[in-house]
Amino acid sequence: MSETKTLLDRNRAFSNTFEARDLPILPKMRTVVLACADARVDPAYFFGLELGDAVIIRNNGGRVTPSVIEEIATLAFMVAMMDGENRQPFELVLVQHTQCGAERFADPGFQKALKAKVGVDVSAVAITDHELSLQDDIESLRNAPGIPDYVVVSGYIYDVQTGQVREIVSPAPLSQ
């Protein structure tokens, strides 16, 4: 069984009232949101994002990994090229959430089994303390040569029980 019929039916309904054909490539809010891939944690919903507002990157845990750094460095490079002389702010919003599966990654038994069966090492993205992980992730961004230090970064935790986002790290350029 496949869910694609439902997906395509919903897409027909979506495209029937589609009016977003002339959106610019650069997101209107000049913002990248990094969040967990968890189906309950969709930034478009809880931040009320419209098409074209922001770039959303999602992975397990919403953690800053080497591949996330590559994605953001590439985006920042493209934005800087498109801005030219007229450089404008560029923002990165990190969102972790309660009841995250990445908290299970912290279990040594889980880590060992995953490594043995799938060859994936999740020790670097395991979450034991969300505030600490957010601070670690911001430090990783700060230490990444490809991420410009004028990028403004902030960190949040989304509560899957209330739908509320709590600020952990207020927005500041990486250079600070």
Cα separation, 106 vs 96, whole angstroms: 15
- Asked if residue 127 binds Zn ion (CB under 5 A), the reply is no
Distance CA 155, CA 134 (A): 6
In this structure, what token pair is assigned to residue 36? 């967990």
Q: Does the CA dihedral 51-53-55-58 come out positive or negative? A: negative
Shortest distance, position 137 Cβ to Zn ion, whole Å:
14
Q: Cβ distance 35 to 13 under 8 Å? A: no
Q: Which residues pair with 154 in a beta bridge?
A: 93
* Residue whose CB is less far from Zn ion, 90 or 105: 105
# of chain residues touching Zn ion (CB under 5 A): 4
Closest separation in Å from C-beta 18 to Zn ion: 31
Contacts with Zn ion, 12-51, as mask; x by CB under 5 A: ------------------------x-x-------------
Among the residue ranges 4-12, 68-76, 100-108, 140-148, the one whose residues contact Zn ion (CB under 5 A): 100-108
- Contact between 100 and Zn ion by CB under 5 A: the answer reads yes
Rounded least distance, CB 9 to Zn ion, Å:
28
Of the two residues 58 and 142, which places its CB atom closer to Zn ion in the complex? 58
Size of the chain, expressed as the number of residues it contains: 176
Is 53 one of the binding residues for Zn ion (CB under 5 A)?
Answer: no
Question: For the chain, how far is it from start to end, CA to CA, in angstroms?
Answer: 52
Q: What are the structure tokens assigned to 45, written together?
A: 């919903």
Q: How far is the CB of 140 from Zn ion (least distance, A)?
A: 18
At its nearest, how many Å lie between Zn ion and the CB of residue 28? 27
According to DSSP, the residues that pair with 157 across neighbouring strands are 96, 166
Residue 123 tokens read as: 């020790």
Residues in touch with Zn ion (CB under 5 A): 36, 38, 100-101
